[in-house]
Structure 1
């Protein structure tokens, strides 16, 4: 039984890691680092079951490839498991996107999936 549990957990971890295609997993330490060092970042609050989040991920995955965003770090916060970080960020729902520039929050939006709108939002980090 323990062998099955370990195998299941390993599969779950692989699936969870692959779900964060649009960015690396955000931590409290990363958030502090952004604020203290004056970095630019885009934080996407994601849930695997959220179709809006999946649509946003596609847009952000494309944006990450653009050299224009070379100084912007993309992060994701897992809505279902990172409740303390959600409280710190004052986020109540998945599909929320928060943009930081020079270590300060400049804009946030929830539920938008249009590529033009998300690109405009993301550009504010540059």
Structure 2
């Protein structure tokens, strides 16, 4: 393939990734300070209680990724809590198992699900943040 064509294709891929990412939700590893700031700002929030070894969490990942990239969820703050290493946070959220999804609008909890892998019901849960 000619060098110029490769360069043009590379630029197109990078530009589309930048444009696509501009509408994605803000995904962060959980820390109490950032979570409190998002709540104080009244942001729509999703908390994912996640474990890397969890098959349900793995099934949720592409569903959540697709939803988080939708324009209507571009302001969503997504906080991932590691089920194994952040036990205090897991307890603070009242989660008993991994694959728990909790939504907030500011400081108010608007919904919760455990073990859900249905795209429609997860979308409905995220809708509760608006």
Secondary structure in structure 1 of the residue aligned to 2:59: helix
Secondary structure in structure 2 of the residue aligned to 1:94: coil
Give 1:51's match in structure 2, choosing from 35, 51, 55.
Answer: 55
| Aligned alpha-carbon RMSD (Å) | 1.5
Q: Who is 2:120 aligned against?
A: 116
State the Cα distance separating 1:38 from its structure 2 match.
Answer: 1.8
- Length, aligned pairs only: 105
Give 1:93's match in structure 2, choosing from 93, 97, 111.
Answer: 97
Give 2:39's match in structure 1, choosing from 27, 35, 38.
Answer: 35
Bigger-Rg structure (1/2): 2
- Residue 75 in structure 1 maps to residue 66 in structure 2: no
Q: Distance in 2 between matches of 1:23 and 1:71?
A: 10
Q: Distance in 1 between matches of 2:85 and 2:98?
A: 12
Q: Distance in 1 between matches of 2:41 and 2:72?
A: 20
Secondary structure in structure 1 of the residue aligned to 2:84: coil
Structure 1 outlier segments of 4+, above 2 Å: 34-37
Unmatched runs of 5 consecutive residues or more in structure 1: 1-21
TM-score for both structures, normalised by structure 1: 0.77
Secondary structure in structure 1 of the residue aligned to 2:52: coil
Q: Distance in 1 between matches of 2:51 and 2:107?
A: 25
